[in-house]
Each structure stands twice: as C-alpha cells, then as structure tokens.
Structure 1
Amino acid sequence: MKKFVPVYEGELRKHSIQVPRCISECSGIRIFGRRIKSLVFSTDVAIIKNINADAVIAVYPFTPQPAITQAILSVSEVPVFAGVGGGLTNGQRSASIAAYAEHQGAFGLVCNTFITEEAIRAIKETVEIPLVYTVVSEQADVAGKLAAGVDFLNVSGAARTPEIVAHIREQFPEVPIIATGGPTDDTIRATIEAGANAITYTPPTSAELFSESMRKYRGRFA
C-alpha cells in the first residue's frame, strides 16, 4: 500500500531544485545513522543551499583548498563529502587535507581514481569519516584500493556507468556504491538496477537556471 506523504513547500522555497524522485528507489547508504540516497555534484553554494539532495559531493578540477570546503560547509544543510585529491594532489598532502576537512566538519572524503594506496592508508590512519574512491573504468584496481582502506566506491563512467557498476557488484556484492545516474529517469533506474546504492545528481548550473528566468521576465514585456 502506497503511503500518503503530506507536503509543505511555501511560496518562495518551492522554486528550489528537486532531485529526480526515482532516486528514492535505491537502497541508500547509512552513514553515522543517516541514510543517504541522493548526492548533488556541485560546488555552487547557491545550488547547494537550494536543492533537496541528501548530501553534497564537492570535488573540482583544482588542488583541494580548505577555504572552498569551509564555504560549502557553511551553507550546506546536509552532509558534505569533500575532495582530497588523487590527481594533482596525492600522498601526505592528501592525508593532511583529509584531516583538515574532517576537523572542518566534512561527513566524508572523496579521492580521485589515481590516488596511491600509500595515500589511502595515510588518510585512513588519520581520519574516522569514510573515504570514497572514484572509479572511471572497469580497469581500475578496485580490490587494491579496498584492501588499502577505501570504504565506498563512486562510479563515474559517463554512459558506461551502469556496466561498470554491474561489473563491480559481481565481484564485490556488499561494497557500498555511489554512482552517477545520468540525465533521465531511465538512466538513473538502469544504474540502480546495476547495483548502485546511492546516486549522484548533476543539477543545472546557476547560469542555465538564470537564463530560463530571464527568458520569462523578458516575455512579460513582449
């Protein structure tokens, strides 16, 4: 029997971004007593403040910077998973960034696919919060990274994400998997059916949202 869920939105906040409802079909991952099914992939504080995702995954193509992590943590009302490197940044520096992020209040850490196993061990010797390893191909040494101390996997394989998730799930039936869901309900469901426990959602950018608003505003003068 489907449960009735009462809803309250208000006049202003009902214009916030909603993650696709089909994400609720995944199992979620319970971390420190909190169940997480959806993670917004963004570092835009305006987006982060105005979306209903269960958590934030904050990674970006620069060396991790505590000031950026702090800015995101200061506005987020949900747990934040902060990037600690693996590509440009690695080794002891990643471990130091991880410790600082935990002290700032990060809920979890995310490392790039090229992080070394030595860096993983150093991070896990330093922090208690979970470490998430990003997988972009079936060729990644998932077993080695799990053995080094990685707690969860984050599969980001573009259109091949469901296949990569299924490949990992066959080898590791119980490992927690976060994965990109893609642009439609069908692609999200395919990823969940392949074995993903939680889904990352990439929202429209502020520029895209503003463009739509401006189009409507201009239409009033037509």
Structure 2
Amino acid sequence: MAKQVPSYTGTLRNHSLTIPACVSECSGIRIFGRRIKSLAFSTDVAIIKNINADAIIAVYPFTPQPVISQAIISVSDVPVFVGVGGGITTGSRSVRLAIQSEHQGAYGVVLNAPTSDDVIRQIKKVVDIPVVITVVSAHTDIGSRLEAGADFLNVSGAAATPEIVAEIRRDFPEVPIIATGGPTEESILRTIQAGANAITYTPPSNGVLFARIMNQHRKAL
C-alpha cells in the first residue's frame, strides 16, 4: 500500500521546480551515507536554489573554472557534482581542477567522454570523492574505464540512452549508473527499467519559466 506523505510548500515557494515523481522508482546511489536518486543538470544558481533534486550536476560547455564551481557549491543545499573537463580541457589541468573541486566541497567530479583512461587514473589517485565518466555511445570500452578507476558512469546518449544503459547493465550488473532520463515520465521510466540507478533531469530554463509567469500576468489583467 502506498504511503501517504504529508507535504508543505508555503505560499512564496509553491511554484518551485519539482523532479518528476517517477524518478523515485530507481534504486539511487548511496554516497557518503546520502542516497541520491535525482540530479538536476543546471548551472543556474536561481534554479539550483529552487528545485527539489537530490543533487546537482554542474557541467557546462566552457573551460571549467573554480570560481563557477565555488559559486554553485555555496548556493546549493544539496551535493554538487562538478565538471572538470576531459574534452578541450584535459591532462594535468583536469587533475588540478579535480583536486580543487574536492577542496571546495564537491561530492564528485564529472569527466567528459573523450577523457583518456590515463587522466582517470591520475585523478583517482589524488581525490577521495567519486570520479564519474560520461558515456555517450554503446561502443565505449566500459571495462577499461572501470579498470582505470571510474566509480560511476554518466550515460548521456540522447534517445539511445535506455539502450546504452541496458547494454552496460547486462555486462556490468553492479556498476553504478547515472543516466539522462529525457523530457517525459515515459522516457524516464524506460531509462530506469533499463538499469539506471539515478536520473539526471534537465529543468526548464529561466527564460521558459519567465514566459509562463508573464503569460499568467497578462491573462490576469
């Protein structure tokens, strides 16, 4: 029988962003005693402060900068997983960024798909937080990633994500998998059923949210 969960939202915060309820179906990943089922993919501090995700995954399409990581970590009420490069930014710079991210309070570091196994090994030697490697294709050599020291996989394969997750899960039944769930409850559930332990959710942008509010204001006039 489903449990009844009392809820309070208040007046000023009742329009905060909410992770789709179906994400609760996944097992979650326990990190330093904290169980994480949902991660919000955002670097917008206003959204980060107003979403009920279990964690934040802060990856952006620029060279990682410690000042950005520090700003996000200082605002967030939940653990933050910080991008430290692996594509354009790599090698010893990614290693230094990983060390600094841990010192800033990051719960984990995320590396882009092009990251070499050697960089994973170097980072794993110097940090005590999870090293997360991004997987974008079913052709990725998962075994070599895990052997190099990757702790979690972050599967981001667009529409093919459920299929990639299922293939990984078949060959590596115990590996922790974070995966993008897509825009609908149906796509999220499909990803969970394929074997994802935690789901990354992309919230609507500030522009989209403002457009909704302004439309409501116009209708009220």
TM range (shorter): over 0.9
1:129 aligns with 2:132: no
**Aligned counterparts, 1:12-27, within 5 A:** 12-27=12-27
Number of matched pairs: 221
Map of 2:147 onto structure 1: 147
Shift of 1:167: 0.6
**Aligned counterparts, 1:181-200, within 5 A:** 181-200=181-200
Q: Tell me the SS of whatever aligns to 2:14.
A: helix
Shift of 1:8: 1.2
- The TM-score, its normalising length taken from structure 1, stands at 0.98
Q: Tell me the SS of whatever aligns to 2:211.
A: helix
Map of 2:39 onto structure 1: 39
Map of 1:120 onto structure 2: 120
Q: Once superposed, what is the RMSD of the aligned Cα atoms?
A: 0.6
Map of 2:109 onto structure 1: 109
Structure 1 stretches of 4+ with a deviation exceeding 2 A read: none
Q: Distance in 1 between matches of 2:140 and 2:20?
A: 29
Q: Tell me the SS of whatever aligns to 1:62.
A: coil
1:30 aligns with 2:30: yes
Map of 1:86 onto structure 2: 86
Shift of 1:2: 1.5
Q: Which AA in structure 2 matches 1:150?
A: A
Q: Which moved more, 1:210-219 or 1:47-56?
A: 210-219
Q: Distance in 1 between matches of 2:49 and 2:75?
A: 6
- Report sequence identity in percent: 66
Q: Tell me the SS of whatever aligns to 1:35.
A: strand
1:73 aligns with 2:36: no
Structure 1, residues 95-140: CA drift from partner, whole Å, max 9, x if none? 1000000000000110000101111111011100001110000011
Q: Which moved more, 1:134-143 or 1:33-42?
A: 134-143
Q: Distance in 1 between matches of 2:177 and 2:8?
A: 32
- The TM-score, its normalising length taken from structure 2, stands at 0.99
Map of 2:61 onto structure 1: 61
- Unaligned residue ranges in structure 1 (runs of 5+): none
